[in-house]
Structure 1
Amino acid sequence: MSERDKYPAESGRRRFVKGVVGGAALAGVGATGAAAINSATQASGAGGGSTQAYAIENTDGPAPRGMPQIPVEIDDEGYLRGVWPEVKTEQQQGVQVTIAETEDFKGSGVTYSTDWFQFCGVESYGGINPEYDSDNYFRSGSSPGYEWQSETYSEGDRLHVDDFSDYQDWTNGVGTEGLGKPATGRWRSEDAEDVIPIQVIKSDRVQEMAQNDPWLEASTEEGFIAWLNKCTHFCCVPQFKAEGSAKFGAEDDVYCQCHQSIYDPFSIVQTLFVARPRPTE
C-alpha cells in the first residue's frame, strides 16, 4: 500500500474503502478502465465517462483526486459568480441532447465541461442540468464556514469583492496569517432541492500563479479562486484553515474533518477520473 493510500500517519487509521462500489471507487479507475465503465453507464444526453478536469490538488488522506475548479468572474458591480459552460445541443448516440461545454475556455486551450462536477451525487442536482435557470452568483449559505461571513451576510446574499478587502491580514487563528481570505457558499442552487457547495479564496498567491499559466489566467480573477467543495472521498464538505487541521499538518490547506483528506488550494493540477452520467430527463 502506498503512502497516498493511507490516512495521514498521525491519525493511525487505514483506508476502509476497499471493495466499496461508489464515487470514491469509480474515481480511482485509471484511463484503461474508464472506457469500459463509460460504455456501461453512459446515459443518453447525460455526459459522464472519462473526464479531464482542473482541480485543487489532493495531497494526503484517502481522497482519490482533487476537487474541481469553478472558473470565477466578477460583474460590473463587484459580485462574484461562477462561469457556467456554454449550453448547446448536439447528437449523442442518435439522440438530440443538451450539454454544457466550452472548448478552449477563454483561449486557455482547456475544454471546460459540466462533467467536471459529475461525482458524489452532484450529477443528479438540479443546478447541474445545463438548462437550469441561474444567475450563477456565489451566495452565502445558511451555515457559513467563517465568522466574518455570519457578521457580513444573510443567507442568500451574493459574495462581493469589497468584503475580501482585508485578505492580506485576515486570520481565524489557524495557520499562517495573511495567506488569503476564504468564504463558503452555494452556487446554482436557488429554488433547487439540492445545494451545490462551493468555497472561494482571495489570495496574492492566486494572482502570482495566474501570471504564467493560461488556465489560471482564464479561470481566476483579481486573486479569487473557487472550487466545488465536495471531498472526493465520501463527499463531505472540507474547509480552508479548519479547526483541528494543524494536527495533520493542514493548517494552511483545505482539510476534510471526516477522514483527514487534505487539499492544497494553491496547487492546481489536471486530473483524470470517471464522471458519473447525469440522469436522463
Structure 2
Amino acid sequence: MSADEDKYPAESGRRRFVKGVVGGSALAAAGVAGSAGINAATASPGSGGGNTQAMAIENTAGPAPRGMPQIPVEIDDAGDLIGMWPEVEEIEQGGRTVEVARTELGGVEYSSEWFQYCGVESYEGIVPGYESDNYFISGDSPAYDWQSEAVDGGDPLNVSMFEDYEDWGNGIGQSGLGKPATATWRSQGTENIIPIQVVRSPLIEEIANGNTDAPAPIENWVQASTEQGFIAWLNKCTHFCCVPGYKQEESSAKFNAEDDVYCACHQSVYDPFTIVQTLFVARPRPD
C-alpha cells in the first residue's frame, strides 16, 4: 500500500455498519509486548495508564493512529442524555492505594483509562472520584445551526431535540444517516472542558437490534453502550488532539469523508457507525 493510500480514503466502495473487532486478541498479543517498552520509556508519576483496550469509532483514513473512544449513553426519565461513568473503586498500584473507575459493560471492561490521552488525563473531570451528574451539556457555541436555535448553552441534550434524526441533513453528504450535536461532559466547575460528540442514528439502532452482520461481541457492546440510536465519543482526534466534527466541514467531501467524522487539521477520518476494539497505551493521570 502506498503512503497516500494509507493516509487518505479510497475513491469508492465504502463499507457501512460494523466490520468486526479490529485487532481483537491478535492485536492484543502483538501489541502488548511492544507497548511494554513504550510504557517503560514514558512512565511518570501518576495513577492508572498503561496498556488499555477501548471500544472506539473506527479511524478509516489519515494520520490518526486509532479510533476515538466511545462514551456509553444513558437516558434519564426526562429524556436527558447522560454519559455513563464507570464505578469507582480503590486498588493497590505501585505500593500505594489509588482510585480507578471501571466496570463491566456488554462483555467489555469500560474504564476511565479509555480517555487518558491528548492531555485529557490531566483534566479534573477524568479523575475517577470527581463528582459530576455526567449529563451531556450543550455549549454556548455549538457546531450546528439547529442546536444553536433549539438549545441554550448550559442545558442538557434531550431526546426530544433529535426527533427528526431519520431525515436530518445540513447539505453536507447524505441526509438521514443521523442527527449530531456537540456538548461537554463532566466539565461543570472545571478549568478544562471535555468535548464530546453525539449522533442519533438509525444505523446504530440497526446494530443494537441485531439487524446487521456485526459479530456478537460488537453487537452486545453496542446494545449496552447506546440507547435509542444515540452514540457518543470523546471528541479528541488521536493524532494531534484537534476537535473533529461529523458533517461540519464542506471540505470533507474532498477526502470522501462527508458522511464521516472529519478532522480538518490533518484529514483524519473516523466512521461513527463502525465500532472497533483498539489497543493503546493510556497515559497516567498526574498526581
Identify whether the pair has TM-score above 0.5, normalized to the shorter chain: yes
Match among 230, 238, 263 for residue 236 of structure 2: 230
CA positional deviation for 1:156: 1.1
- Partners of 2:144 and 2:248 within 8 A in 1: no
- 1:51 matched to which residue of 2? 52
- 1:179 matched to which residue of 2? 177
CA distance in 1, matches of 2:150, 2:205: 25
Aligned length: 259
Q: Give runs of aligned pairs for residues 69-80 of structure 1, distance below 5 A.
A: 69-80=70-81
CA distance in 1, matches of 2:262, 2:162: 21
The TM-score with structure 2 as length reference comes to 0.86
Q: Deviations over 1:121-159 (max 9, x none)?
A: 000001000111100000111220100110011111100
CA distance in 2, matches of 1:8, 1:110: 30
Q: Which amino acid aligns with 2:69?
A: P
- 2:221 matched to which residue of 1? 215
Moved beyond 6 Å, runs of 4+: none
Match among 250, 265, 280 for residue 257 of structure 2: 250
CA positional deviation for 1:168: 1.1
CA positional deviation for 1:33: 1.9
CA positional deviation for 1:247: 1.1
Q: Which amino acid aligns with 2:278?
A: T
Gapped regions of structure 1 (runs ≥ 5): 11-28
Structure-2 change in CA distance of 1:153 and 1:183 (3 Å): same
CA positional deviation for 1:44: 6.0
- 1:86 matched to which residue of 2? 87
State the secondary structure of the residue aligned to 1:59. Answer: strand
Gapped regions of structure 2 (runs ≥ 5): 12-29, 211-218
CA distance in 1, matches of 2:44, 2:99: 13
CA distance in 2, matches of 1:209, 1:251: 21
Match among 117, 121, 124 for residue 122 of structure 2: 124
CA distance in 2, matches of 1:69, 1:81: 13
Q: Does 124-133 or 43-52 show the bigger shift?
A: 43-52
CA distance in 2, matches of 1:43, 1:83: 28
User: Are residue 32 (structure 1) and residue 39 (structure 2) matched?
Assistant: no
- Partners of 2:182 and 2:195 within 8 A in 1: yes
Q: Give runs of aligned pairs for residues 146-185 of structure 1, distance below 5 A.
A: 146-185=144-183
CA distance in 2, matches of 1:216, 1:8: 25
- Partners of 1:79 and 1:159 within 8 A in 2: yes
Identity among equivalent pairs (%): 65
The TM-score with structure 1 as length reference comes to 0.88
Q: Which has the higher contact order (CA 8 A, sep 6+)?
A: 2
- Partners of 2:48 and 2:285 within 8 A in 1: yes
CA distance in 2, matches of 1:44, 1:84: 24
- 1:13 matched to which residue of 2? none
Q: Which amino acid aligns with 2:272?
A: P
